[in-house]
A and B are shown apart, each in its own frame.
Chain A
């Protein structure tokens, strides 16, 4: 296509070798980082898979003694955590990393170094999680870590602490990656590619990244509170001291349900690329597919308590979440028809990729429909926490997402390597995977109906339980074998596979308009964008519409800071909510009225608010290119911020003198956590401002070009705004 040269894996690989082993560590190329993501996730997929196989062996027969409950509980905790945070999420991010910049005709991600950081945080987070095995035992409280089981009273090993720290490390990386992705898609689209013309995979990744930015802070805030409970003996979720174990569930699922969609939306995107190309027709109802995704993203924040129907939250709550969960089924379900009608009337090519996509459609329908049975709350009252749930979400995440990733891998592998994966091995792998997957998980629906609870290391010999479990175990090993076959296919095809050329599938999106693999700069020349299928338009100029102007392209640094601030805002929202929840009624022990001096706090609050004014003055001076006032106002800002920190320090000192610490009661727990995290943000802001000041004094701002001051200024205003909210909630009523 387009006359670009055909390069191959053989040409590509030596290049990598020449650059030396260090280059893969130092790389900031989105394509190589994408491959790092995929290789890493494949490794962790094998780890999580082996964990699953050991569990299946233990469950193959009733009353088995292969592993005891201690090991089994660690296995299912690690399997869940690994598959979610180290496989499905990062694998989708890996594909997005490689293909989003290519599909929008960009040279790289908006922030290549930040991109590399995200990957390395993932890898080291994963290693940190697994280090727990050497440090006294892996976490065993489940991937959901329900309190109080995950509190130190009931989980005395360091497993849950490693779990928390690892998730925090990965969480930071994931949020950074999502911000990067949002900014990339908003600011680096090829000329003429409006947001309405981006490929659906790009659109899904975009919406997905917004979900990540909003949902991950909820997880981060919850696990930070759990860590404070475990390490500092605070009481967020401990029932004995008045904490509410159920609050953890609310917090966790506020993250946890959007997370489910985080793990399927990019997969929807892949299917929306693969099905049209191999049906030789454009996607049926682009607007519906794209729009319904937005609906899913919005609704996904209003369905969390359908994970909690058995908690006994009351009729009103159960009805609300039953209705919202049914509502989210509509935008999810109708996509199925869009894909089916894309095939309808097409000229379908039964490549391995398409076969995986078709299996995805049918299996995802099964998972979606069993999901509906959970939205019907009374059915959930019977079926939740049984193997029926295990079957349900594996149909969504394995039968759905993983099959979609297989479709994506067979589709995009030629672009990444220059060679096509063997179709012969691919089809064998496909059938093995279909048989293995359905063999493993179909019977688990019945096990649930027969009353088998999930997360049990063994089970009594009740009628049928042993037989169905044995079938499931055999299925799991077939599944394991199909994964090995995939590994063989990749190794074989990298050496012997058919040369791909630029566009082996005769596809239409921009990634196929460059060589396979693409050169470091991605494109020699990006084709003109007339519509959603640039390469189709190139081949059929007679039907192509006139090119349009790019619609919306904000400045990237400012955009990234705004997105970051929104994410931080959600983090504080959780802490603020916890404070309000535990302090709106009078509790024994010290409270805000008895222990805080609001007038003194008002003084250093004024200092902080004044600093917002001074930094604004400094920015104004920057815009007017006046160096001296810029520096002076910035110094004033730093001094005012420091006064605030000193004020808060003295307040803390006074409380500690009176014996009020974070473990005293729930007021102290929530007060220190909320104000402490705010103080930490002020300190980070001060550090950043000081760095900017030093740079100014060193002369870096002579030409008034760096944007750092404005960007950090935004952050500083945000920190002040958070304090206004915190002050209003904690102190204001003491002044009135």
Chain B
């Protein structure tokens, strides 16, 4: 449809072109079908609203009572008229229902094969697992022009996965799995968000889908399997020590170190990501320092406590995390 104007915007993570109305700027056949039926329905609604408004306006203009006017003709109804508008509204809705069935089939075909990747909603971040074993967080890389079947799960409460330019939203529910087709026809970065209220930091549970050419995607996916680089400087090496000493390893994984838990985002390739805190800050050294100094100040209620790091520890840990490419 392309109704949405595209523009570069400062509030977005670097490199993201945000569209004003993502619902009307589909980049997949699924989202196209949704946008299409939405536009048709809105036109129908606008026509109905127009009719009612016109009738009300005519009433106001034509039937304004004058003071001491005699009582008007007492009409109690008109069965034929009432039956006709009942039938007319039924016909409109039957038409919409037919379009609904069609749009559902196009935008949400049945899942007929094993999932291509798994997305797990956590309070308040997204874990993304690829079939080759790569694990990412919050930023979902996909190859363009390929129908990907997503398996959607939840680790704690109900969340909802929604990237409006790519298709429908789907709840992710603890105890059950859902599936969803994801596809992007053009390379680019597409914003999404958790849409189901999930507690304190529901607002900062953003999603970024990065659609790449198949070659770029394959390269990225292969890179994810590599271990994190050995700290290149003494400061960074100091940072790795802090990382291990401060119990960071109890929650985070960094491949190539002994940090192997996935309660919190995998940090092996942390420095490659565009945002931290699931969208709350742009990922640069300054933000990382701010975050580490007190995560509760940046994202109140999040599950990472304030470790009260000293300035030296902050410098070292920031330097180390900046090397995790």
Contact = CB atoms under 8 A, between A and B. Distances in A.
A460 interface: yes
Contacts of A70: 200, 300-301
A341 B158 CA distance: 47
Contacts of B157: 146, 148-149, 154
Interface stretch (B89-97, B215-223, B226-234, B251-259): B89-97
Interface in A277-294: 279-288
B11 A461 contact: yes
A379 B34 contact: yes
Contacts of B78: 284-285, 341
Contacts of B55: 340, 344
A384 interface: yes
B72 A345 contact: yes
Contact of A378 (B103, B110, B203): B103
Nearest to A533: B74
A73 B200 contact: yes
Contacts of A462: 9, 11-12, 18, 191
Contact of B104 (A315, A373, A455): A315
A154 B156 contact: yes
Interface in A322-340: 322-323, 326-327, 329-330, 333-334, 336-338, 340
Contacts of B75: 281-282, 284, 345
Contact of A455 (B45, B110, B202): B202
B301 A344 contact: no
A348 B64 contact: yes
Given A284-B75, A369-B45, A462-B11, A456 B158 contact: no
**Interface range for A:** 35 or more
B149 interface: no
Contacts of A384: 169, 195
Nearest to A358: B56
A318 interface: yes
Interface in B168-204: 168-171, 173-176, 178-179, 191-203
A149 B56 contact: no
Nearest to A153: B156
B24 A311 contact: no
Contact of B56 (A340, A345, A453, A459): A340
A334 B89 contact: yes
Given A69-B200, A245-B158, A347 B41 contact: no
Interface string B64-86: 11100111111111110110011
B172 to A, nearest CB: 9
A583 to B, nearest CB: 17
Contact of B10 (A310, A386, A461): A461
Contacts of B195: 310, 384-386, 453
B49 interface: yes
B77 A288 contact: yes
B23 interface: yes
Given A148-B157, A344-B63, A385 B169 contact: yes
Given A149-B198, A285-B77, A456 B203 contact: yes
A385 B93 CA distance: 24
B82 A288 contact: yes
Contacts of A372: 41, 45, 93, 96
B203 A281 contact: no
Interface stretch (A360-368, A602-610, A698-706): A360-368
Contacts of A450: 20-23
Interface string A251-293: 0000000000000000000000000000111111111100000
B59 A149 contact: no
Contacts of A242: 175
B81 A341 contact: yes
Nearest to B159: A149
Interface string B33-57: 1100110011001001100110110
B60 interface: yes
Contacts of A148: 156-158, 174
B184 to A, nearest CB: 16
A281 B58 CA distance: 17
Contacts of A336: 52
Main secondary structure of the interface of B (DSSP, over half): mixed
A302 interface: no
Contacts of A458: 203
A652 B156 CA distance: 33
B244 to A, nearest CB: 30
B206 interface: yes
A330 B104 contact: no
Nearest to B179: A312
A310 B171 contact: yes
B34 A345 contact: no
A455 B197 contact: yes
B300 A246 contact: no
Nearest to B197: A455
A245 B174 CA distance: 8
A384 B103 CA distance: 16
Given A345-B63, A457-B203, A319 B104 contact: yes
Contact of B97 (A154, A326, A349): A326
Interface string A370-395: 10110111110111111000000000
A192 interface: no
B93 A349 contact: no
Nearest to A340: B55
B196 A310 contact: yes
Contacts of B52: 336, 340, 361-362, 365
A142 B197 contact: yes
B196 to A, nearest CB: 6
A112 B160 CA distance: 48
Contacts of A369: 45, 48-49
A358 B52 CA distance: 11
Nearest to B156: A154
A49 B110 CA distance: 45
A378 B179 CA distance: 16
Contact of A463 (B9, B49, B107): B9
B49 A366 contact: yes
B245 interface: no
B24 A310 contact: no
B72 A311 contact: no
B93 A329 contact: yes
A282 B76 contact: yes
Nearest to A381: B168
B82 A310 contact: no
A679 interface: no
B34 A382 contact: yes
A112 B197 CA distance: 43
Contacts of A349: 65
Contacts of B301: 68-70
Interface in A209-244: 239-240, 242-244
A702 to B, nearest CB: 54
B263 to A, nearest CB: 15
Contact of A146 (B21, B38, B176, B197): B197
Interface in A409-460: 446, 449-451, 453-460
Find the residue from B99, B101, B169 having the highest chain A CB count within 10 A.
Answer: B169
Contacts of A329: 89, 93
A254 B78 CA distance: 36
Interface of A: 62, 68-70, 73, 142, 146, 148-149, 154, 239-240, 242-246, 279-288, 310-312, 315, 318-319, 322-323, 326-327, 329-330, 333-334, 336-338, 340-341, 343-350, 358, 361-362, 365-366, 369-370, 372-373, 375-379, 381-386, 446, 449-451, 453-464
20 contacts: A73-B202, A149-B198, A239-B175, A281-B72, A281-B73, A287-B77, A322-B97, A322-B100, A333-B89, A334-B85, A343-B63, A346-B65, A347-B71, A350-B64, A376-B100, A385-B196, A451-B164, A451-B191, A456-B203, A463-B9
For the complex of A and B, 4 pairs with smallest distance between CB atoms: A461-B11, A239-B175, A347-B65, A381-B168
Given A337-B82, A366-B49, A460-B206, 7 more contacts: A149-B158, A373-B41, A376-B96, A378-B34, A449-B21, A459-B203, A463-B7
